[in-house]
Structure 1
Amino acid sequence: MTDTSLQDLSQGETAYRKLHQAIRDGLFQPGDRLREADVAQRLSLSRTPVREALRKLEADGIVEHRARIGAVIRKLERTEVVELYEMRLVLERTAAEMAAKHASDAEIDELEEVNNKIEVTVDDPATAAALNQDFHRCIYLATRNRFLLESARALNNALMLLGPTTLADAERIKTVCQQHKNIIDAIRAGDVEAAGASAEAHLQTSLRHRLKVMRT
């Protein structure tokens, strides 16, 4: 969001957007304590709108209030991670199938472009993670289904609670990009079944890798 558009919002909403983005970008991690004064200083905000933002993030399920500690970013348990990926699998398989029916050549070209950028971003996990989010969002946009897109947005808050990206080494990025390519090829061919199967295989691999990271 641009500074100009932020200026059009209330101070509380501006603080909410900035803190939400900071959590998404990894500036604050799941399990971190969010002290009003610290957040205000790091994000160049005053404490009152930060307090309002924290209340809204708590309502969103991103932040929880702990006795004698205060506001803390939620950290998903293993069972919650599995449940989240199960839901993602359902939505992303459907999205890939619908994209195979409706995606334009320009949208498919954009998927390839984003995937190519991920492939060369081996030394910057944060950028790779952001590009990966862009890739999946492009698939949802190509479905031409606003209700599916809204369902995907509802998962975004939970995805923020997964912690550091798993796109932290060249081998992992290579695997992800190849699986993305399988999805793109199926969408370009208009092969609904292959697109869905490729998306499901991708999410299954991602879940296995996420659980492996959680065990370390």
Structure 2
Amino acid sequence: MGDQMTKEQDDSLVDRVYSRLLGEILNGTLAPGAKLSEPKIAATEDVSRAPVREAIRRLEERGLVTHRLRQGVRVIVPDETMRANLMAVRGALEGLAARQAAENATDSERASLAVMLDAHRDKLEREGPVDYWQSNVNTDFHHRVATLSRNSHLIDLINDRFWPLFQLVRRARRDEPGRIRRSYVEHRRIANAIIDRDGDVAELLMRRHIEAAFIT
């Protein structure tokens, strides 16, 4: 029992440090190229270096930081080649997720998707596009569509493996004039296709939506 409690406590510390670092990377506190110092993080979080090291390993596994000789661990600096390749992967994955969401979502789930977008519309009107853009995972449209696909492999890739990286790359475009409001309109059209059970249109619109985010 003691060993089990120790492992659970260690996992909890890793989760806490990982969540903190992930949040700081996604909100820009840790900017692209910023160096992560194990001793400083351990001191700030009041933990040993072991959970910090494991949290950084998770970030590296998800492609958010790199570890290079004599440079240490740094937040990635996405270039256009990386961004284009990532968007191509994202378009394929999320297009398939939209198709399968149209095929597999229940009536109540379709209704909840419409309710979510009504809430997004109200948030846009009330608080403006920047706050809408910074919605968390529980209110993220793409995250929800992946979940509605009911494809465990897609859910793992989109919502866990790639979601933070998508967010990091996407964040760079958040201040473009009009783009966020256009994004909401595109989300609504994709949702309508899912609600109508039209997988062909849902996949096409999702792919176009991802492409538009890259070229605008």
TM-score normalised according to structure 2 size: 0.78
CA distance in 2 between partners of 1:112 and 1:129 (Å): 20
Local SS of the residue matching 1:64: strand
Q: What's the RMSD between the two structures over aligned residues? A: 2.8
How do 1:28-177 and structure 2 match up within 5 A?
Answer: 28-40=30-42, 44-46=45-47, 48=49, 49-119=51-121, 120-121=123-124, 122-123=127-128, 125=130, 127-131=132-136, 134-152=140-158, 153-162=160-169, 164-168=171-175, 171-177=178-184
TM-score normalised according to structure 1 size: 0.78
Aligned residues between the structures: 203
Contact map agreement 1:33 1:73 (CA 8 A) in 2: yes
1:139–1:12 Cα change, 3 Å: closer
Contact map agreement 2:64 2:76 (CA 8 A) in 1: yes
Task: Tell me which amino acid in the other structure corresponds to 2:75.
Answer: I
Once the two structures are TM-superposed, the CA of residue 40 in structure 1 deviates from its matched residue by: 4.0
1:130–1:21 Cα change, 3 Å: same
Contact map agreement 1:114 1:134 (CA 8 A) in 2: no
1:202–1:16 Cα change, 3 Å: same
1:124–1:207 Cα change, 3 Å: closer
CA distance in 1 between partners of 2:132 and 2:48 (Å): 30
Ranges in structure 1 where 5+ consecutive residues have no aligned partner: 1-5, 210-216
Percentage of matched positions with identical amino acids? 27
- Higher mean alpha-carbon deviation, 125-134 vs 68-77, is at 125-134
Contact map agreement 2:38 2:53 (CA 8 A) in 1: yes
Deviations 1:9-61 (A, max 9, x none): 3534432343234323443232212223443455x333513234224433443
Once the two structures are TM-superposed, the CA of residue 183 in structure 1 deviates from its matched residue by: 0.5
